[in-house]
């Protein structure tokens, strides 16, 4: 029987979580899988943050928090936005949720009416179009090719805008490509957006601190854009806190109020102990962030050089996040034993089952020629995974 709502039947499961689950199941059966499917730092949460959480438990942070989060956390986020991004927000313009994932979903649910269009540059994070559909809207993708470093141009953006366009989702540094928009590139997109002041930009900056260019830029910093922008960020990636589930939006007050109303009926404020830990992360010593960034940069250089050595892999140089997104379509139509590779998902399955390396096919990222590999794992795993992939794809004829 399937008596689920149409809303749910329209929704596809998360390909990143599905692939990671499949690889964990194979691991549990004793197969030596290298999991490069899920995007999460392999580091543990830094000690001072854990200490703050332990103290929060002893201090009885065991009650409901205000729906948008404790003042101590919202103030720490206001200070972070000023210190790191030179942006002025008030605590009333901040709302904390169960991870940046809920922050994106809240914002879309708060803004989108049936049939509204949301422009999503492809390749995109798997959840964006699904969340737009959940909110009743239509995801409209713009293709950014590997030749354009997976970044859209102002002309492409303008061509995609219609009277139904309600929002644009930007993700920089990008999951899944690692591309980073410079301030100048964001200014170019903003020049188009200023002609359409009703369009809201969701600026997903969750990979802000995993950046190899030396500078993170937010479209909210472009003069005239802040009142049309919702910044989405959190602690998951910068502080290796994926399981603590704290994300936030920084946005015009009318949007924060809308998300607050939704969250108040839906989940209430996020976990009280995690909020205190996140406040300690934002307010504490930031050296841990730089140390992890440097480790990711080393791994990026390693994986890119090894992946470029794999015949048939076309690899761009990522400027941020912890993913490579090689184009592998030269293998489509080739076979090994009874298996023929037709799509990037077939290719990812082939790598999982034959090379025992878990990746994610590009299909669900809106880029059917590519696969995503997360290098948030040890250098030893990266070397071994690339060796396995190189040896395994050699069988494809
Ligand atoms: N945005 C992007 C682009 C992501 O890759 C992720 C990772 N899950 C999120 C948002 C959500 O992060 P969080 O763990 O804070 O929910
Ligand atoms: N953002 C990570 C990824 O893309 C975590 C999994 C998810 O939430 O999709 O792999």
Structure tokens at 69: 């989060």
CATH 3.40.640.10 residue window(s) in the chain: 52-284
Pocket of ligand 1 contains residue 242 by CB under 6 Å: yes
Q: What is the per-residue pLDDT for 370?
A: 98
Q: For the chain, how many residues are written?
A: 397
Edge-to-edge strand list for the sheet holding 371-374? 323-324, 371-374, 360-361
CA of 285 to the centre of ligand 1 (A): 23
- CA pair distance 61, 38, nearest whole angstrom: 31
Residues of the chain with CATH 3.90.1150.10: 6-44+288-392
CATH of region 52-284: 3.40.640.10
* pLDDT at residue 1, as a whole number: 85
Task: Report the nearest-CA residue for atom 10 of ligand 2.
Answer: 39
What pLDDT does 285 receive? Answer: 97
Domain 6-44+288-392 belongs in CATH node 3.40.50.720:
no
Please state, in angstroms and rounded to a whole number, the distance separating the CA atoms of residues 275 and 324.
32
- Give yes or no for residue 181 CB within 6 A of ligand 1: no
Which protein residue has the closest C-alpha to ligand 2 atom 9?
A: 16
User: Is residue 221 a contact partner of residue 90, using CB atoms and an 8 Å limit?
Assistant: no
In the chain, the DSSP E strands lie at: 34-35, 94-97, 117-122, 138-143, 165-171, 200-204, 229-234, 247-250, 323-324, 335-336, 339-340, 357-358, 360-361, 371-374
What's residue 284's pLDDT?
A: 98
Instruction: Give pLDDT, residue 90.
Output: 98
pLDDT digit string, tens, across residues 101-140? 999 999 999 999 999 999 999 999 999 999 999 999 999 9
- Tens of pLDDT, residues 10-36: 899 899 998 999 999 999 999 999 999
pLDDT by residue (tens digit) across 218-271?
999 999 999 999 999 999 999 999 999 999 999 999 999 999 999 999 999 999
Query: Mean pLDDT across the stretch 299-306?
Result: 98
* Span 349-376, average pLDDT: 97
Do the Cβ atoms of 328 and 369 come closer than 8 Å? Answer: yes
Whether residue 300 has pLDDT greater than 90? yes
- Please report the pLDDT score of residue 2 as a whole number: 85
Among the bound ligands, the one closest to the CA of 202: 1
Q: Within 10 A of 13 (CB to CB), how many other CB atoms are there?
A: 11
Instruction: Compute CA distances 348 → 178, 179, 212, 364, whole Å.
Output: 19, 22, 27, 12
Which atom of ligand 2 lies nearest, measured to the CA of 125? 4
Distance, CA of 296 to CA of 95 (rounded, Å)? 29
205 pLDDT band, cuts 50/70/90, is very high
Measuring from each residue's beta carbon to the nearest atom of ligand 2, which residues come in under 6 Å?
A: 14, 16-17, 38-40, 101, 125-127, 175
Rounded CA-CA distance 388/362 in Å is 20
Ligand 2 pocket mutation, candidates 175, 178, 366, criterion most atoms within 8 A of CB: 175
pLDDT(320) > 90: yes
Is residue 169 in contact with ligand 1, taking CB distance under 6 Å?
A: no
pLDDT at 262: 98
- For residues 215 and 181, the answer to whether their CB atoms sit within 8 Å is no
How much of the chain, in percent, has pLDDT values that exceed 70?
100
Question: Helix count (H) and strand count (E) of the chain?
Answer: 13, 14
Judge contact between 320 and 212, C-beta under 8 A: yes
Identify the DSSP state of 351: I
Q: Which of 175, 208, 210, 281 to mutate to test the pocket of ligand 1 (most atoms within 8 A of CB)?
A: 175
**Structure confidence by residue, pLDDT tens digits, 33-87:** 999 999 999 999 999 999 999 999 999 999 999 999 999 999 999 999 999 999 9
């Amino acid at each position: 029987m399937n008596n689920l709502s149409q809303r749910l039947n329209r929704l596809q499961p998360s390909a990143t979580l599905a692939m990671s689950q499949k690889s964990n199941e194979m691991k549990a059966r004793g197969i030596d899988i290298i999991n490069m499917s899920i995007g999460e730092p392999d580091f543990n949460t830094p000690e001072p943050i854990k200490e703050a959480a332990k103290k929060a438990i002893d201090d009885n942070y065991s009650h409901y928090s205000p729906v948008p989060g404790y003042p101590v956390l919202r103030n720490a986020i206001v200070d972070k936005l000023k210190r790191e991004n030179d942006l002025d927000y008030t605590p009333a313009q901040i709302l904390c949720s169960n991870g940046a994932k809920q922050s994106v979903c809240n914002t879309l649910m708060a803004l989108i009416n049936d049939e509204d269009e949301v422009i999503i540059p492809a390749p995109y994070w798997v959840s964006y179009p699904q969340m737009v559909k959940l909110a009743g809207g239509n995801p409209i993708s713009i293709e950014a090719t590997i030749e354009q470093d997976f970044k859209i141009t102002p002309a492409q953006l303008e061509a995609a805008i219609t009277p139904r366009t309600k929002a644009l989702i930007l993700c920089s540094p990008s999951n899944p490509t690692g591309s980073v928009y410079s301030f100048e590139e964001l200014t170019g997109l903003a020049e188009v957006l200023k002609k359409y002041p009703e369009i809201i930009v969701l600026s997903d900056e969750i990979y802000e601190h995993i950046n190899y260019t030396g500078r993170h830029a937010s479209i909210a910093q472009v003069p005239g854009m802040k009142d049309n922008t919702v910044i989405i960020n959190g602690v998951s990636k910068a502080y290796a806190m994926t399981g603590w589930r704290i994300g936030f939006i920084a946005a015009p007050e009318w949007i924060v109020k809308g998300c607050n109303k939704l969250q108040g009926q839906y989940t209430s404020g996020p976990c009280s102990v995690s909020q205190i830990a996140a406040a300690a992360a934002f307010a504490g010593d930031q050296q841990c962030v730089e140390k992890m960034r440097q480790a990711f940069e080393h791994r990026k250089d390693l994986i890119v050089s090894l992946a470029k050595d794999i015949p048939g892999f076309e690899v761009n140089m990522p400027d941020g996040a912890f993913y490579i997104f090689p184009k592998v379509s030269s293998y489509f139509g080739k076979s090994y034993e009874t298996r023929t590779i037709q799509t990037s998902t077939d290719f990812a399955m082939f790598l999982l089952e034959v090379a025992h390396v878990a990746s994610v096919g590009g299909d669900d990222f809106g880029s059917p020629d590519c696969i995503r590999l997360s290098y948030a794992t040890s250098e030893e795993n990266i070397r071994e995974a690339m060796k396995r992939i190189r040896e395994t794809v050699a069988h494809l004829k």
